[in-house]
């Protein structure tokens, strides 16, 4: 009996230690309380995501003087803007379109994706679905909390303001995530007070996107010369 208890305790210790040592990555995180099948394991999966975002907010403005903060975790420099964002992407073939048409203080601002691009292996060709990113996930930066991303895209695009070209061949990223911002305050908590699960609300969704310059500026947050950041708090799947 004592030997059985010792073996059981040793087994629990081994399992706990093994779980803690698991590598972090887009499809695997330590201490996860459940697992699910990857999209590609389903024979009916067609890889197509057609999504629309509304109730959109802009972080900062287009003409903020450096140094600025365009992450807006405290939501002190966040404002609502009129417009919509829509994308139609094929995750299997890494193709698709993205367009945001927004009325910002400076005028009509339009962002479009020109080509998909993979900047890191966890981005799975440039369009990826059902992956963990940001925070301590091992994929992406730590400017956002760790979240399950239902679908995300990376690539290069352009922006116009009142019909005139504003940016060309700038880096872009868009993602549909679990609820990273509080429903009422719009604030973000980057790290959980305890545990491995990201500081997000899985009962909500949002759509984040940005377009950024290749040039860096360490005085800004994030450290780019240009980082235009928006998020939509209403997400519709079609």
pLDDT digits 0-9 by tens, 11-38: 433 334 444 456 788 888 988 888 889 9
Phi and psi for 236 in degrees, rounded to 5? Answer: -120, 130
> Out of 9-13, 43-47, 139-143, which region has the weakest mean confidence (pLDDT)?
9-13
Determine the Cα–Cα distance for residues 213 and 167; give it in Å rounded to an integer: 8
CA distance 38 to 227: 32
| CA separation for the pair 62, 108 (Å, rounded) | 12
Region of 140 please: left (phi>0), alpha (psi -120 to 50) or beta: left
Q: Is the pLDDT of residue 5 over 90?
A: no
3-state secondary structure of 20: helix
| pLDDT at position 1 over 60 | no
Q: Per-domain residue ranges for the chain?
A: 43-237
Mean pLDDT in residue range 41-66: 98
114 has a pLDDT exceeding 70? yes
Averaged pLDDT score across all residues of the chain: 91
At 234 the pLDDT is 98
What is the pLDDT at residue 16?
40
For residues 110-131, average pLDDT: 97
Query: Between β-strands 107-116 and 147-161, what pairing exists: parallel, antiparallel or unpaired?
Result: antiparallel
Q: How far apart are CA 62 and CA 164, in angstroms?
A: 14
Looking up tokens 């990555």, which residue turns up?
A: 25
Look up the pTM and report it. Answer: 0.88
In our burial notation (b when 16+ CB lie closer than 10 A, e otherwise), range 64-96 reads: eeeebbbbbbebeebeeeebbbbbebebeebeb
Residues 6+ apart with CB under 8 A from 70: 59, 60, 64, 210, 220, 221, 222, 227, 228, 229
Neighbours of 62 (CB within 10 A): 15
Cβ–Cβ under 8 Å, residues 41 and 66: no
pLDDT confidence tier of residue 191, bands split at 50, 70 and 90: confident
The continuous run of DSSP H or E covering 7 comes out as: helix 2-21
Q: What is the C-alpha separation between 63 and 75, in angstroms, rounded?
A: 18
Burial tier of 115 (Cβ tally within 10 Å: 0-12, 13-18, 19+): exposed
Least confident of 26-30, 41-45, 84-88, 226-230: 26-30
């Amino acid at each position: 009996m004592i030997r059985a208890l010792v073996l059981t305790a040793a087994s629990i210790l081994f399992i706990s230690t093994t779980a803690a040592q698991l590598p972090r990555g887009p499809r695997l995180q330590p201490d996860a309380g459940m697992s699910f099948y990857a999209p590609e394991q389903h024979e009916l999966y067609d890889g197509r995501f057609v999504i629309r975002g509304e109730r959109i907010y802009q972080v900062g403005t287009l003409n903020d003087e450096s140094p600025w903060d365009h992450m807006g975790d405290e939501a002190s420099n966040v404002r609502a803007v009129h417009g919509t964002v829509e994308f139609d992407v094929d995750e299997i073939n890494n193709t698709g379109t993205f367009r945001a048409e927004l009325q910002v203080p400076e005028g009509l601002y339009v962002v479009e994706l020109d080509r998909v691009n993979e900047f890191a292996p966890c981005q799975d060709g440039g369009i990826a679905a059902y992956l963990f990113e940001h925070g301590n996930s091992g994929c992406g930066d730590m400017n956002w909390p760790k979240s399950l991303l239902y679908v995300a895209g990376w690539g290069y695009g352009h922006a116009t303001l009142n019909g005139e070209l504003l940016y060309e061949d700038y880096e872009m990223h868009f993602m549909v995530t679990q609820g990273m911002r509080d429903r009422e305050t719009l604030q973000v908590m980057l790290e959980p007070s305890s545990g491995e699960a990201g500081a997000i609300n899985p009962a909500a969704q949002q759509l984040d996107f940005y377009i950024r310059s290749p040039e860096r500026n360490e005085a800004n947050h994030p450290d780019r010369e240009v980082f235009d950041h928006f998020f939509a708090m209403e997400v519709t799947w079609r």
